[in-house]
């Protein structure tokens, strides 16, 4: 399993991708720099992904600031928070419950977010999605941005769907199933392809996006 560790891996992936799919040459030309976006594995990294899901970037940043202000964003720290404090963060009930379940599983030694990153991608996703509230998109984005997995394409992401449709001149956004099938051509660098299309989305739609669902 290949792991993305620095910008040299992004450059290598982009070079390989335009060989695999020459259509991407035009996407690369207009996208500008393709961000690395790597964070340390652990509760904080996954929590930030959960917070950003299905909300605007501004809302996610505001929620995250409140969480950080409440103390270290660790599994033990979150689990110890008074529910009244958690209620001030602006999280939905579902997200608050997901974070509490996650922090409890980690604190009690039932799950290790660093160790899961070392697993093969399919097995890592299987184990993560067995946790309450963690769906495939959340697991995929965590493994991409905290584990460095090089061959993941979160096909359920709305921004990726919109970017691929725009970049390839499609009449409508592809479904998750169709986009996942189309992305197979970019293996084993699908995580770089995803980063590329997020950069393209930001450049063409003038929106600085976090991954979206």
* pLDDT tens profile 70-83: 999 999 999 999 99
Give the start-to-end residue ranges of the domains of the chain.
Answer: 7-38+151-205, 43-145
Q: Does 211 score more than 60 pLDDT?
A: no
In 10 A of CB 163, how many CB atoms? 26
Q: Does 125 score more than 70 pLDDT?
A: yes
The span from the CA of 86 to the CA of 207, in Å, is 29
pLDDT at site 213: 38
Segment 111-131 mean pLDDT: 97
pLDDT at site 207: 60
Is residue 200 within 8 A of residue 163, CB to CB? The reply is yes
Domain 7-38+151-205: give its CATH architecture: Orthogonal Bundle (1.10)
pLDDT, tens only, 50-108: 999 888 888 999 999 999 999 999 999 999 999 999 999 999 999 999 999 999 999 99
Segment 14-24 mean pLDDT: 98
Q: Does 20 score more than 70 pLDDT?
A: yes
The span from the CA of 6 to the CA of 33, in Å, is 14
User: Residue 188 is encoded by which pair of tokens?
Assistant: 């084993």
Which phi and psi (to 5°) does residue 149 adopt?
-60, 130
pLDDT at site 212: 45
What does 40-51 look like in DSSP terms, one character per residue? Answer: -SSHHHHHHHHH
pLDDT at site 188: 97
pLDDT at site 56: 83
Percent of the chain with pLDDT over 90: 90
The span from the CA of 173 to the CA of 181, in Å, is 14
The span from the CA of 108 to the CA of 126, in Å, is 20
What's the CATH fold of domain 43-145? Endonuclease III; domain 1 (1.10.340)
pLDDT, tens only, 160-201: 999 999 999 999 999 999 999 999 999 999 999 999 999 999
Q: Does 155 score more than 60 pLDDT?
A: yes
The span from the CA of 183 to the CA of 206, in Å, is 24
pLDDT at site 206: 67
What does 3-27 look like in DSSP terms, one character per residue? Answer: B--SHHHHHHHHHHHHHH-TTHHHH
In 10 A of CB 147, how many CB atoms? 26
Q: Does 205 score more than 90 pLDDT?
A: no
């Amino acid at each position: 399993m290949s792991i993305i560790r620095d910008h040299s891996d992004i450059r290598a992936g982009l070079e390989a991708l335009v060989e695999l799919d020459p259509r991407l040459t035009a996407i690369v030309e207009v996208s500008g720099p393709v961000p690395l976006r790597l964070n340390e594995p652990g509760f904080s990294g996954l929590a930030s992904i959960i917070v950003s899901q299905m909300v605007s970037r501004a809302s996610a940043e505001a929620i995250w600031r409140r969480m950080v202000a409440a103390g270290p964003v660790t599994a033990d720290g979150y689990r110890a928070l008074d529910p009244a404090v958690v209620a001030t963060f602006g999280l939905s009930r579902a997200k608050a419950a997901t974070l509490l379940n996650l922090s409890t599983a980690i604190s009690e030694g039932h799950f290790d977010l660093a160790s899961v990153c070392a697993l093969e991608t399919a097995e890592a996703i299987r184990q993560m999605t067995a946790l309450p509230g963690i769906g495939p998109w959340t697991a995929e984005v965590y493994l991409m941005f905290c584990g460095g997995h090089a061959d993941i394409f979160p096909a359920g992401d709305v921004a990726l769907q919109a970017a691929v449709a725009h970049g390839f001149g499609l009449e409508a956004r592809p479904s998750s199933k169709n986009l996942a099938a189309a992305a197979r051509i970019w293996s084993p660098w699908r995580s770089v392809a995803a980063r590329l299309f997020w950069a393209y989305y930001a450049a063409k739609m003038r929106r600085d996006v976090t991954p979206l669902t």
